[in-house]
Amino acid sequence: MATYAVMIDPDFQQFVTVVKATADPSVDANWSNVGTNIQLGSIEDLNFIKSLWVVEDGSDLHVATQTSDGRVAYHVFDPGTDAWTTSDEFVSAAGGVPANLACSIALRSDGDVIVGYAADDGAEDEIWYSRKEGTWTRDTFLGNGGAGDNYNGVVIVRGASDRMHFFYKSDTDGDLLHRSLSSANSLDTVNQSVDTSVATFNFLCGPGVSYVSGATKVRVPYKDSDNGTSVAELDSGADPTITTDTNVGENVVVTVDGYSLHCLAIDGTTIHLVYASGLNNVHHDSNADDAGWGTDEDIITNNTATIGISCNVYTRGAKVLAFLFDDNGTIKYCEYPLAGGSIDKLSLVEFPDQNYYVGPFEI
């Protein structure tokens, strides 16, 4: 087993790279850059990567990127060989460049790839998706295309029977919205409302989770109108009933481009929330199979976390909640023991730009 994270080179922001710790990731010297960096475009293009999303399928890391010219690409990293088996595969360059670039990726159980992304259809900003079932079927509208609304930010979570749940925001109405795609590629009701009172920032949602407890439950964190973290809740299906747990986390930090600093990780049927607060602390809360959220606890205090948090649960000797966060321009890896114990964190690399790392993954 080894610990991996996917990052963007801090100097040129045109390279996707993978870092790896083959031994204890709490030791800085155990981390190294592995594989060959993927260069997107040429250095002269100045088309920097503006959005990165990664999903693990148990043996590979599947990566989606969107660059500043709006182009979306797909990549696959094989931890078995520490090599890219797919690199810079064209997904879309649809329309013009939207105001707020964002992409997300999810995999079906049969290996089909679904990528959601921001696009400009010439009239307004939209959320589109493309899917790969052997070959790519590209550029399907997800929002209500042509209706005069602008949509941005997209997060995908796989639910029951390979149903893909998309969460995104209407910039025009200020609503958080949902739509899902069945395994037969049928879309349900367009723009199903999650919350009509959300924060004014464009990128509300963090990474979500799904788990099975009677039904397949989908949960996604988002920034609410009180500048806290609320959690959208639904049982996976077409046109589901959607409820919210409000203000689970308070005073959630937002970066200058609006990315909320929160993520969910799943441990069986227990959900873990990690977020950065306005007091520059990293907080944790949990909910055991909808039994209710607990009391927020500071797990890292007096740091200057200003950049996105990415988290996961895995067993490395003992079960840990592991996450990456930015501490005043330095990415740090942290393990929070779920059975109690001390917190261990370390500096990984200098990487000052936001939202450009995903992980950790234990493979």
Q: What token pair was written down for 185? A: 């590629």
Instruction: Write down the mean pLDDT value for the chain.
Output: 87
CB 45: neighbour CB atoms within 10 A?
A: 14
**Residue 232: what pLDDT?**
97
* Model confidence pLDDT, tens digit, residues 93-137: 877 788 888 899 999 999 999 999 999 887 788 899 999 999 999
183 vs 112: CA distance, rounded Å: 10
What is the spatial distance between Cα 237 and Cα 240, in angstroms, rounded to a whole number? Answer: 6
Model confidence at 306, in pLDDT bands (50, 70, 90)?
low
pLDDT at 46: 74
Two tokens at 277?
């607060």
CA 36 to mean position of chain CA atoms: 23
Do 348 and 357 touch, CB atoms closer than 8 A? no
Give the closest residue to 64 by CA, choosing from 155, 179, 196, 168: 155
76-85, 154-163, 218-227: least confident range: 218-227
Neighbours of 135 (CB within 10 A): 7
**Which of 293 and 328 is assigned the larger pLDDT?**
293
Cα 174 to Cα 259: distance, rounded to the nearest angstrom: 16
Is the per-residue pLDDT at 225 higher than 90? no
User: From CA 350, how far away is CA 81, in angstroms rounded?
Assistant: 26
Q: Determine contact, residues 221/231, Cβ cutoff 8 Å.
A: yes
Residue 16: name the closest of 55, 69, 67 by CA: 67
**Residue 355 and residue 53: Cα distance in Å, rounded?**
9
Q: Sheet holding 344-350: strands in order across?
A: 305-316, 318-327, 330-337, 344-350
- Domain of 190? 3-362
Alpha carbon separation from 103 to 29, 97, 294 (Å, rounded)? 32, 13, 32
CATH number at 325 reads 2.120.10.70
Tokens found for residue 355: 């939202």
* Omega prior to 360 cis, within 30 of 0: yes
Q: What angle do CA 133, 137, 138 make, to 5 degrees?
A: 140
Position 258 scores a pLDDT of 56
* pLDDT of the residue at 354: 42
Long-range CB pairs of 334-337, under 8 A, 24+ apart, other chains included: 334/282, 334/299, 334/300, 335/25, 335/26, 336/284, 336/299
* Residue 236 reports pLDDT greater than 70: yes
Partnered with residue 117 across adjacent β-strands are: 103, 128
- The CA distance from 354 to 56, in Å, is 21
pLDDT at 228: 84
The pLDDT-based confidence of 355 (bands split at 50, 70, 90) is very low
- Residue 147: CB partners within 8 Å, gap ≥ 6? none
Report the number of distinct structural domains present in the chain. Answer: 1
